[in-house]
Amino acid sequence: MRNIKLTIEYDGRRYLGWQRLGDSEKTIQGKIESTLKQMTGEVIEITGSGRTDAGTHARGQVANFKTTTDMTREQMLSFLNRYLPNDIVITKIEEMPERFHARYNVKGKKYSYNIWNSEVPTALHRHTSFHVKQPLDLDKMQAACERLIGEHDFIGFSSLKKSKKSTIRTLQEISIVQHGNLLECQFIGEGFLYNMVRIMMGTIIEIGLGKLPVEVIDEIFEKKIRQQAGETVPAHALFLDEVYY
Amino acid sequence: MRNIKLTIEYDGRRYLGWQRLGDSEKTIQGKIESTLKQMTGEVIEITGSGRTDAGTHARGQVANFKTTTDMTREQMLSFLNRYLPNDIVITKIEEMPERFHARYNVKGKKYSYNIWNSEVPTALHRHTSFHVKQPLDLDKMQAACERLIGEHDFIGFSSLKKSKKSTIRTLQEISIVQHGNLLECQFIGEGFLYNMVRIMMGTIIEIGLGKLPVEVIDEIFEKKIRQQAGETVPAHALFLDEVYY
């Protein structure tokens, strides 16, 4: 069996997310699987690097699947991009060793989150940014990012109720880049818990607005209570940029 | 009467353009005029800096109108952005002298055009870029831009059949900036003829693909024949960035 790795870009707006049981036609994974069936005649299950929420976009989601097809990579790329809906694009196809697994082998991920910070809304970025009307204090936000970086128990920054598995994760980098009214916040880490980027972002925003002190971050690490953190900001401004192996 | 200047951002995808006789509800101008009527009770006609084609976007279109309303600028901004569809945003409202006219007083305009240059398409930029699959030679495109800059008779680069008015225009600047697979081409000039940016862009692309020699530009200026220029590239990748007064 060949083991094929896909790199995938998608506009998540129309979908229930990467994966969701029961309604696969409205998920990215379901769309790709049905196009692969069309292509190969085989029933193929693909393994994603992880889920993305309903509405979340990707610049570089990764998945793999096993197949016996003898199509070339070029033929597969061209077939898939022709028959997938135009809000899902396969950007790269690679042939991998048999043991490659898109979820188990993940070494890290990069996410980004767009904030539109202006009193007036935006027409052109309305589907890909979260509108924050009040002025944000970038220095306070940077200070919040610094406290988040490193190895911590992030359970207070997740929607998990309890977890039997470890909720300790290491964040390598958080950076905020300003392009006019648009703030692009990037998060690079070895792993992320459920809703972790959106809750960290919500907390950084409330610190930037002066609603929460920057010290709240250490308190959330210490007391492990989700309620102290900021709100879970909307999914439509979140992008999975890259998966590292 | 007060003379009010609006700066407008819009996602042109759903519209027949800035203005079109007969079907004003599907134009940007029509949407703004009906919202102004709602706001003031007056029948208001707005004057745009010029038309934009069906599907074309704007980061900084400008228009003005006369009114007797005693609302403050802040009240108007907030009313308009609340009641306009969310693909049209008023970004600024200014009080102008009575003689200010959004079309007659234009000193120049900046447009930009996005090209997605990659064998594979794009999901995230599909509504705001034109997909060119074959590799473009940026040096040849830059050489084409240099020949277009300056004062010329641009009739060969327009969809005008004939013109009683002068078709001589001055282009100050054309620049091409590359962000990965995305090429952003900016055009700054004193004035542009009908379809001029889209036909110049189509010609620059065909030069970049090696389908036309760079010398074709001088020939089009000399012979004034539209047929020698490249195709009129699609409107959905074009943005009116700024209007200078």
Domain boundaries, chain B: 2-96, 108-244
A2-96: CATH architecture: 2-Layer Sandwich (3.30)
Cβ atoms of A9 and A77 closer than 8 Å: no
Q: Do domains A2-96 and A108-244 have the same CATH topology?
A: yes
Antiparallel, parallel or unpaired: β A238-244 and A57-67: parallel
Residue type at position A140: K
For tokens 């936000």, the residue is A141
Confidence of residue B1 (pLDDT cuts 50, 70, 90): very high
B7/chain A closest Cα distance in angstroms: 12
A111 is in an annotated binding site: yes
Report the pLDDT value the prediction gives residue B227, as an integer from 0 to 100: 84
CA A80 to CA B121: how far, in whole Å?
11
Give first-to-last CA distance, chain B, whole Å.
21
Mean pLDDT, residues A90-97: 98
For residue B126, the chain A residues in CB contact (below 8 A) are 11, 86-87
Q: Model confidence over A103-123: pLDDT tens digits?
A: 999 999 999 999 999 999 999
Using CA of residue A88, residue A91, residue A94, residue A99, what is the dihedral sign? negative
Tell me how far apart the alpha carbons of residues A164 and A108 are, in angstroms, rounded to a whole number: 21
- Helix axis angle for A138-148 and A196-208, nearest 10°, is 140
Residues 6+ apart with CB under 8 A from B77: A120, B90, B92, B93
Q: How many other C-beta atoms lie within 10 A of the C-beta of residue B234? A: 17
pLDDT of B70 higher than 80: yes
CA A112/CA B231 separation, integer angstroms: 37
Q: Hey, which CATH number is domain A108-244, 3.30.70.20, 2.60.120.680, 3.40.50.1980, 3.30.70.660? A: 3.30.70.660
Indicate which of A52, A61, A84, A120 best probes the interface with B, i.e. most B CBs within 10 Å of its own CB.
A120
The stretches of A4-127 forming alpha helices (DSSP H) are 28-40, 73-83
**Which candidate in A53, A70, A153, A218 is catalytic?**
A53
Q: Which residue has the tokens 């620049």?
A: B175
- DSSP, collapsed to helix, strand or coil, labels residue A70 as coil
B 108-137 → A contacts, CB under 8 A: 120-124, 126, 128
pLDDT of residue B142: 97
Mind listing the pLDDT tens digit for each residue in B96-137?
999 999 999 999 999 999 999 999 999 999 999 999 999 999
Give chain B positions within 8 Å (CB) of A124: 9-11, 57, 59, 128
Asked if pLDDT for residue B80 goes beyond 80, the answer is yes
Residue B181 reports pLDDT greater than 80: yes
Q: Which residue, among B120, B122, B130, B240, would best test binding to A if mutated, counting the most A CBs under 10 Å from its CB?
A: B120
Q: What is the residue whose two structure tokens read 């794009």?
A: B122
Q: How confident is the model at residue A226 (pLDDT cuts 50, 70, 90)?
A: confident
